[in-house]
Amino acid sequence: MPSRTHYATLVAVLGLLTATGPLSTDMYLPSLPAITRDLATTDAGTQLTLSVFLVGFAGGQLVYGPVSDRYGRRPVLFAALGLFIAATIGCMFTTGIEGLIALRFVQAFGACGPVVLARAVARDLHTGAEAGRLLSLMGSIMGFVPAIAPVLGALIHVAFGWRAVFGAIALFGMVVGVVSWAKLAESLQRRDTGALSIRAMCETFGELARDRRFQRYVATNSLTFAGLFAFISGSSFVLQGTYDVSPRGFAYGFAFAVIGYILGTLTASRLAMTRGLNRTIYRGASLLALSGMAMVAAMGAGLFGFWDVLAPMVIYMFGVGLVAPLSLAGALTPFPGHAGAASSLFGFIQMTFASLVGIAVGHGLAFGPFALSGAICLLGVAAFWVARGSRWHECTVP
Q: Among 378, 380, 344, which residue's Cα sits nearest to residue 364?
A: 378
**Helix (H, G, I), strand (E, B), or coil: what is residue 31?**
helix
Answer yes or no: pTM beyond 0.85: no
| 243 secondary structure, DSSP code | S
Question: Rounded to an integer, what distance in angstroms lies between the CA atom of residue 105 and that of residue 44?
Answer: 16
State the average pLDDT for the chain.
Answer: 82
The domain 4-184+198-394 is classified under which CATH number: 1.20.1250.20, 1.20.120.80, 1.10.10.10, 3.40.630.30?
A: 1.20.1250.20
pLDDT at 111: 93
pLDDT at 139: 67
Question: Rounded to an integer, what distance in angstroms lies between the CA atom of residue 50 and that of residue 44?
Answer: 10
**71-85, 219-233, 378-392: which range is least confident on average?**
378-392
Question: Rounded to an integer, what distance in angstroms lies between the CA atom of residue 301 and that of residue 202?
Answer: 50
Mean pLDDT of 374-389: 88
What is the DSSP annotation of 268-326?
A: HHHHHHHT-HHHHHHHHHHHHHHHHHHHHHHHHTT--SHHHHHHHHHHHHHHHHHHHHH
Mean pLDDT of 316-328: 89
Mean pLDDT of 358-367: 75
In terms of pLDDT, which residue wins out, 128 or 112?
112
What is the DSSP annotation of 161-225?
A: -HHHHHHHHHHHHHHHHHHHHHH-----SS--TTTTSHHHHHHHHHHHHH-HHHHHHHHHHHHHH
pLDDT of 339 > 60? The answer is yes
Question: Rounded to an integer, what distance in angstroms lies between the CA atom of residue 87 and that of residue 162?
Answer: 16
Of the pLDDT bands very low, low, confident and very high (cuts 50, 70, 90), residue 183 is confident
Give the angle subtended at the CA of 258 by the CAs of 131 and 322, to the nearest 5°: 35
Instruction: Break the chain into its structural domains and give their ranges.
Output: 4-184+198-394
Residues 245-263: tens digit of each pLDDT:
777 777 778 778 888 888 8
Q: Count Cβ atoms within 10 A of the Cβ of residue 224 and give its class: 0-12 exposed, 13-18 middle, 19 or more buried.
A: buried
Question: Rounded to an integer, what distance in angstroms lies between the CA atom of residue 126 and that of residue 133?
Answer: 9
